[in-house]
Amino acid sequence: MRPPPRLMPAIITPFTESGTIDHEAHRSNVADLWEREVYGVVIGGSTGEGPYLEPGERQMLAADARKAAPDGFVIVGLAAESLRAAEAMAAEAAEAGADAVLAMTPTTLVRHRIDLVEGFFSDLADASPLPVFLYSVPRVTAYELPTESAIRLAAHPNIVGMKDSGGDPVRCVSIATSAPRGFWMFAGASAAVAPSVAGGAHGAVTASANYAPGLVAEVIAAAGSPEAAAPHDRLLRLSGAIERHGVAAVKYAATRTGLRGGHPRRPLRPIGVTEAAEVDAALEEAGLLA
């Protein structure tokens, strides 16, 4: 597998008001990000409303991204509770020409059964036609893939990296430095990017890279240097003000900074006037309003 870029957005999925995917808007977003020197995207993650995507939609979104940025690095998120469903999603991603898949931790019937959770990832990696990234996102799943499990799974030849969205840079660095050489570790929480990268993580896959890719890139580039504090603090204030309002606020912020956010898919709803004003204020303070 070719090396992934250090910065990738957990890209939003633009839906129409009726809930169908706006493919033209999605292609436009990928192309626009490419013009901003963002050379990879993660499709169908939690910010991309991956748990709400239907069969076949991942394949179409990945194919759209490949069409919009032929040389871009494309990772497709898998939100599956069964191995059978995850394998089907991975096959869709491969058919669309994706580079890798990002598999969310299953929880429904296996929560706290470490043997079954690890078995899910190991079996998926055995069967997947594409390299597999682990995805721990406890805010969504209410379960964190244990550090020891991630390190053990990193030894699998087809498990090539991880996105950790728990927000603990110490854990992120521990996995990054304990995994085999060539394991691509990504911080998934904006607040953890600077310390994680400074400690050895490869880069960041964040919601904030939809609306502030330049700032996230600046944080990555400065990580570990005396100049790191200023961009880190700016990103911390900005992402905190926006992302506390959820995915719909990220889509609104992306729209206000030049992308086409579209509508969220129900049961999510657009943010209200008060929340929109708070997002606008944060973007204006950061100098990012389009």
Instruction: Give residue 63's domain range.
Output: 7-228+258-268
Domain assignment present for 207: yes
97, part of any domain: yes
In a domain? residue 276: no
Query: Residues 109-136: pLDDT tens digits?
Result: 998 899 999 999 999 999 999 999 999 9
Residue 278 covered by a domain: no
Residue 235 pLDDT: 98
- The CATH number of whichever domain residue 155 belongs to comes to 3.20.20.70
Residue 249 is assigned to a structural domain of this protein = no
Q: What is the dihedral of CA 248, 251, 255, 260, to 10 degrees?
A: -120
Among candidates 181, 138, 175, which has minimal Cα distance to 157? 181
User: Is the pLDDT reported for residue 290 higher than 80?
Assistant: no
pLDDT of residue 8: 98
Question: d(Cα 240, Cα 122) in Å, to the nearest integer?
Answer: 35
Q: Is 163 a catalytic residue?
A: yes
Instruction: Give me the number of domains the chain comprises.
Output: 1
pLDDT score recorded for residue 7: 98
User: What is the arithmetic mean of pLDDT over 252-266?
Assistant: 98
Residue 197 lies in a domain: yes
- Predicted local distance difference test score (pLDDT) of residue 62: 98
Record the tokens describing residue 59, joined without a space.
């394949």
User: What are 135-189's pLDDT values in tens digits?
Assistant: 999 999 999 999 999 999 999 999 999 999 999 999 999 999 999 999 999 999 9
Instruction: Check 163, 234, 263, 265 and give the catalytic one.
Output: 163
pLDDT tens-place string over residues 80-109: 999 999 999 999 999 999 999 999 999 999
Q: Which two tokens stand for residue 81?
A: 């509770």
State the pLDDT at residue 112: 84
**Domain assignment present for 283:** no
Type of residue at 84 = R
* Structural domain contains residue 198: yes
